[in-house]
Structure 1
Amino acid sequence: MSVPLTVMLVAAEASGDALGAGLAAALKRRLGDGVRFVGVGGARMTAEGVASPFDIAELSILGWIEGLKAYGRVKRRVAETAALAARERPDVVVLIDSWGFTIRVAKAIRAAAPQTPLVKYVGPQVWASRPGRAKTLAAAVDHLLALYAFDAPWFEREGLKTTVVGSQALHVDMSAADPEGFRRARGIPEDAPLLLVLPGSRPAEIRLMTTVYEGAVTRLLAETPSLAVAVVAASTVADDVSTRIAAWPFRVHLVSEADKYSAMKAATVALATSGTVSTELALAGTPMVIGYRFGSVSYAIMKPFFTGKYATLFNHAAGAEIARELIQAAATPEKMAAEVGRLLADPAARAAQTAQQTAALDLMGRGGGNPSDVAADAVLGLMGARPR
């Protein structure tokens, strides 16, 4: 009986946990009992057979100041992860997203076991900031699994072999979404305007953005009393969001992740914290306004390193600000209310933005193969393995 391949998967945030789970499932479809998993991850990876030695929630860190405060904890978890690799001696290690954590893990494993193939799944967004990270990554790993075609040249120029696998966000299945049922269950008339607010999935995002969104919605309701408002509470921050929203002085429909896609399709306009959710909203055909704030000290440190023109992926792919971006000082209640109000008042503007968003998704690679399957083939190819 042949010895199964040992694949180590390392993810430090919920988004990486989802990618790791998809990759594990794809590898099992190809190899069956011929693969075993070790590593670090969350609930989804655990369900696929990756038993994590610690809770990755403590590694969900936003901003340089938070990173400095968490440095000791991160350093310990890096050492634990490298020690796990030393014990299990994996045939390949796949390090998923979470640049700050995974680059440290890559360097630690490379120092201890230089022959172990290292794969980075999702490269840092060097097109947006700190392009020197491409060279750093090329020196630390053997292969990159990139999400978008516009990522690849940055890393290939540094000699890092890159496979564009596509983004799982472009393959979200919204066929079960029920926008009419969503409105009906909450007593929102079919012709009433509905604003969907998506405040984020990290504790710092919730802390920094919910007050801003409250101010924006207050202004919008003063102008349009018939406006219905719904807020999505991501599972990672559901309790925090629920507590904060309960204090808002107007009615809000709280939405769980299970109803998120129905809410997106039901919404007239969305107001969203920058992130993967912008791609999901575009897939749902929802025009949006994007906001984001960092802590003031973190932003002052980070600002010189921002080189990209846009924060939103489909804006970057299109080379145009399709969805209005209000970042840091521009992320005020007044400006958000003005931008959302403009879309609420103009059906033609909403239709035009939706069409542009959809076209930009095609530039990002919508319609390609399943990213998990493409990633699994690339990992097996790197190991010289063949699917059964």
Structure 2
Amino acid sequence: MSRHLKVMMVAAEASGDALGAGLAQALKKRLGDEVGFVGVGGPKLAAEGVESPFDIAELSIFGWLEGIKAYGLVKRRVADTVALAVAEKPDAVVLVDSWGFTIRVAQALKTALPGVPLIKYVGPQVWASRPGRAKTLASAVDHLLALYAFDAPWFEKEGLPTTVVGSQALHVDMSAADPAGFRAARGIAPDANLLLVLPGSRPSEIRLMTPVFEAAVARLKRQDPSLEIAVVAAGTVAADVTARVATWPFRAHVVTEADKYSAMKAATVALATSGTVSTELALAGAPMVISYRFPPLSYAVMRPFFTGKYATLFNHASDEEIARELIQKDATPEKLAAEVGRLLADSEARAEQAARQTAALDRMGDRSADPSQLAADAVLRVIAEKAAAKGQISKL
């Protein structure tokens, strides 16, 4: 006998909102009207029927000290989320990314709703820092949906069942990208060197990285006044980025999310803030230099917990620095300009790096299966197994 299945989604950032929406769509494709959704999320989950009790933008917190400052707010929002779960009594809860928030929700739900399957979608990057979080997660949830093959062993050794579903970043559809059209629309010659700057998608990243990138690009423009510059303004920080770029003493084309993939394919070289955008750039065939700065006090506190050699996922998967990483004290205009300038001046180096980046993507996981569908299959399997263990009739 089948009846309506209720799945609670909890996503506290834009990236998690997108992942959760993809999972919801895959579940709907599988079950149609037999599945419904409640929970916490942004506009994409709202489009799938999730009425969030609060705006998740207020939880976009990055940095250790910043987290301490926001502790009171986070605690209240955890309580709001748990109260919603208790009221709705879902058949399963899927906690998407956002470690600091979702682990607190998971721990509270373990007590508030015993027996309800708790599924974490995206585990903490224990390969990069604080490996003890694997044990913490294993004690708080029933199953992990991991993005990359190299994630699973860290959690499985702590007894947490893990399904590798793959990353949506490895499945970005760039078939509609038009690099030639992108250049033509902006008056950029087909053979001109084009540097694409991607300063990030968090307000803190824009605040810390944009001035450094501006100074690095200024050095490159002095060396080569003909160098064309384009800057991606991610949707969540578009107004801030656009306003900052408008003050630059040289011309820079502002790129919206709609034209991002065309710009990536059109770029000669990219200069990017560390994040999943590095995977997208690799898919587009753009050689890149990666950089990042943390707030100084946060970095001083967090630095002892960093255990991974690389910040960039495909560098980690290959265990080599394919794309140059300039982090914190190395993230200076001089060093950034030198590394970007080296690539701009050497077409063979660009081609070699782009090829190595592409090869590294294959080490990150299966690029053929749909991650959202694999995640949906795993969620339904966990619900069925939990129901069978309690002797209940499956709703699936």
Q: Alpha carbon RMSD of aligned pairs, Å?
A: 1.1
SS at 1:158 equivalent: coil
1:217 aligns with 2:201: no
Counterparts of 1:261 and 1:289, CA distance in 2? 17
| Aligned residue number for residue 163 of structure 1 | 163
Asked if the contact 1:63/1:295 (under 8 Å) is kept, the reply is: yes
Counterparts of 2:378 and 2:271, CA distance in 1? 37
Deviations 1:168-206 (A, max 9, x none): 000000000000000000000001000000000000000
| Aligned residue number for residue 47 of structure 2 | 47
- Deviation of 1:316 after TM superposition, in Å, equals 0.2
| Aligned residue number for residue 91 of structure 2 | 91
| Aligned residue number for residue 107 of structure 2 | 107
Q: Which runs of 5+ in 1 are unaligned?
A: none
Counterparts of 1:365 and 1:108, CA distance in 2? 32
Matched pairs, number: 388
| Aligned residue number for residue 194 of structure 2 | 194
TM-score by length of 1: 0.99
Counterparts of 1:337 and 1:157, CA distance in 2? 43
Counterparts of 2:89 and 2:235, CA distance in 1? 34
Kindly provide the amino acid, as one letter, of the partner of residue 31 in structure 2. L
Kindly provide the amino acid, as one letter, of the partner of residue 112 in structure 1. A
Given the superposition, is the C-alpha separation of residues 88 and 387 from structure 1 closer, same or farther in structure 2, using an over 3 Å criterion? closer
Counterparts of 2:53 and 2:24, CA distance in 1? 17
1:376 aligns with 2:376: yes
Asked if the contact 1:9/1:94 (under 8 Å) is kept, the reply is: yes
Asked if the contact 1:148/1:166 (under 8 Å) is kept, the reply is: yes
SS at 1:384 equivalent: helix
Asked if the contact 2:78/2:101 (under 8 Å) is kept, the reply is: yes
Asked if the contact 1:127/1:308 (under 8 Å) is kept, the reply is: yes
Q: Which structure 2 residues correspond to residues 237-386 of structure 1 after superposition, within 5 A?
A: 237-384=237-384
- Deviation of 1:378 after TM superposition, in Å, equals 0.2
Counterparts of 2:261 and 2:143, CA distance in 1? 34
- Deviation of 1:51 after TM superposition, in Å, equals 1.2
| Aligned residue number for residue 390 of structure 2 | none
Counterparts of 2:55 and 2:47, CA distance in 1? 14
- Deviation of 1:243 after TM superposition, in Å, equals 1.1
Counterparts of 2:104 and 2:244, CA distance in 1? 35
Deviations 1:330-374 (A, max 9, x none): 000000000000000000000000010000001112423100000
Q: Which runs of 5+ in 2 are unaligned?
A: 386-393
Counterparts of 2:263 and 2:324, CA distance in 1? 21
SS at 2:139 equivalent: helix
Asked if the contact 1:30/1:387 (under 8 Å) is kept, the reply is: no
- Deviation of 1:130 after TM superposition, in Å, equals 0.1
Q: Which structure 2 residues correspond to residues 121-160 of structure 1 after superposition, within 5 A?
A: 121-160=121-160
Asked if the contact 2:95/2:120 (under 8 Å) is kept, the reply is: yes
Kindly provide the amino acid, as one letter, of the partner of residue 3 in structure 1. R
Counterparts of 1:383 and 1:303, CA distance in 2? 39
Counterparts of 2:205 and 2:144, CA distance in 1? 28
Kindly provide the amino acid, as one letter, of the partner of residue 229 in structure 1. I
Percent identity, aligned pairs only, is 76
Counterparts of 1:365 and 1:269, CA distance in 2? 25
Asked if the contact 2:107/2:140 (under 8 Å) is kept, the reply is: yes
1:10 aligns with 2:2: no
Deviations 1:55-92 (A, max 9, x none): 11111111011111111111110000000000000000
Counterparts of 2:78 and 2:395, CA distance in 1? 31
Kindly provide the amino acid, as one letter, of the partner of residue 348 in structure 1. E
Counterparts of 1:27 and 1:310, CA distance in 2? 35
Structure 1 residue ranges (4+ consecutive) displaced by more than 2 angstroms after TM superposition: 385-388
Counterparts of 1:49 and 1:182, CA distance in 2? 36
- Deviation of 1:387 after TM superposition, in Å, equals 9.5
1:63 aligns with 2:63: yes
